[in-house]
C-alpha cells in the first residue's frame, strides 16, 4: 500500500537571476515499511525532494499525496499541523534543544501534540531504551556524544507516532561505529515495528543498509533500485 505518492513534481527556484530547476518532473511512490535512501551528488536535488516530502517546502507544480492527503496546496499552518502528526524528522546536525535533557527532548513533540503526562513518560522511556539510551534519560545534549545525540533525535522523531521518518544526512557527522550503531537501530525499528524510513544521503554505509536506493541527478530520478533486484 502506497503511503506517499509524488506525481510530476517540479521545484524551480527564482531567487537569483538564474532559474534553478531543483526537482524536475519526479514521479515516485513509497510503501509502508520501506527503508529507502535517496542518493545523489551535492546539488542533485535530493534534499529539496526530501523537504517537499516533509512539507517543509512546497512544489512549484505537481502533487504530493501522503496517506490520501494532497499536501501540495496546504497552507503554512496546515502544513505545520500535518508535519506534527504525520512526519518524523532526523537532521544532519541532530538539532536537539540544548537546554532540555534527552527525556525532555523526546517528550517535547508529544507536548506539542497535547499528549497526557503518563503517555509521554511511558513512550519516552520505551523509545530511549529502544535506542540504547535508557540510562541517559536526564543527560543534556552537551553531555552526549554525536552518536548518542542522533539516537535521541531518532527517538524524538518516533515519539509523535509518525507515518514515516525522513532523515536528511543523519550520519554525516558521525564516526563509523556510531553510524553503524545508529543504522542498526533504525533497521531494527523498521523491521520489528514496520516504521518507514526515507534517507537523503551520500553515505555509502547508509546506501548499503537501505533496501531501496533512489538516485537523483539534476533534479531527475536516474535509477530506483530495490535490493531484491527489482528496478
Q: Are strands 220-226 and 87-90 parallel, antiparallel or unpaired?
A: unpaired
Closest to another protein by CB, 4 or 79? 79
Binding mask 166-205 for another protein (x = CB under 8 A): ----------------------------------------
Q: Tell me how far, at minimum, the Cβ of 54 lies from another protein, in Å.
A: 7
Q: Is 109 in the site for another protein (CB under 8 A)?
A: yes
**Helix locations, the chain, DSSP H:** 46-53, 76-86, 102-113, 117-130, 146-159, 176-193, 204-209
Closest to another protein by CB, 24 or 113? 113
How many residues form the binding site for another protein (CB under 8 A)?
28
Can you say how many angstroms the Cα of residue 103 is from the centroid of all Cα atoms in its chain? 20
C-alpha neighbours within 13 Å on the C-beta side of residue 138 = 0
Closest CA to 87 of 36, 161, 10, 174: 161
Interactions with another protein, residue window 24-53 (CB under 8 A): 51
The 3-state DSSP class for residue 54 equals coil
Q: Tell me how far, at minimum, the Cβ of 17 lies from another protein, in Å.
A: 20
Q: Tell me how far, at minimum, the Cβ of 93 lies from another protein, in Å.
A: 7
Radius of gyration of the CA atoms of the chain, in A = 17
Binding mask 60-79 for another protein (x = CB under 8 A): -----------------x--
Residue among 12, 20, 74, 84 that touches another protein (CB under 8 A): 84
Closest to another protein by CB, 13 or 25? 13
Q: Which residue carries 499536501 as its cell?
A: 71
Distance of CA 57 to CAs 16, 20, 95, 170, 218, Å?
A: 18, 15, 19, 19, 18
Residues that bind another protein (CB under 8 A): 51, 54, 56-57, 77, 80-81, 83-85, 89, 91, 93, 95, 97-100, 104, 107-109, 111-114, 156, 160
Amino acid at each position: 500500500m502506497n503511503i506517499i505518492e509524488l506525481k510530476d513534481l517540479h521545484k524551480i527556484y527564482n531567487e537569483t537571476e538564474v532559474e534553478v530547476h531543483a526537482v524536475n518532473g519526479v514521479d515516485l511512490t513509497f510503501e509502508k515499511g520501506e527503508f529507502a535512501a535517496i542518493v545523489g551528488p551535492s546539488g542533485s536535488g535530493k534534499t529539496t525532494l526530501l523537504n517537499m516530502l516533509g512539507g517543509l517546502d512546497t512544489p512549484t507544480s505537481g502533487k504530493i499525496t501522503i496517506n490520501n492527503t494532497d499536501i501540495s496546496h496546504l497552507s503554512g499552518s496546515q502544513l505545520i499541523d500535518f508535519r506534527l502528526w504525520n512526519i518524523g524528522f532526523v537532521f544532519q546536525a541532530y538539532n536537539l534543544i540544548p537546554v532540555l535533557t534527552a527525556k525532555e527532548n523526546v517528550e517535547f513533540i508529544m507536548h506539542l501534540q497535547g499528549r497526557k503526562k503518563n503517555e509521554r513518560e511511558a513512550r519516552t522511556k520505551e523509545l530511549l531504551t529502544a535506542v540504547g539510551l535508557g540510562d541517559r534519560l536526564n543527560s543534556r545534549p552537551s553531555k552526549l556524544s554525536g552518536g548518542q545525540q542522533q539516537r535521541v533525535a531518532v527517538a524524538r522523531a518516533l515519539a509523535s507516532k509518525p507515518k514515516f521518518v525522513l532523515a536528511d544526512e543523519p550520519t554525516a557527522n558521525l564516526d563509523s561505529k556510531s553510524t553503524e550503531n545508529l543504522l542498526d537501530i533504525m533497521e531494527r525499528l523498521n523491521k520489528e515495528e514496520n516504521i518507514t524510513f526515507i534517507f537523503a544521503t551520500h553515505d555509502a554505509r547508509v546506501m548499503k543498509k537501505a533496501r531501496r536506493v533512489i538516485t537523483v541527478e539534476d533534479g531527475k530520478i536516474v535509477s530506483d533500485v530495490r535490493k531484491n533486484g527489482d528496478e
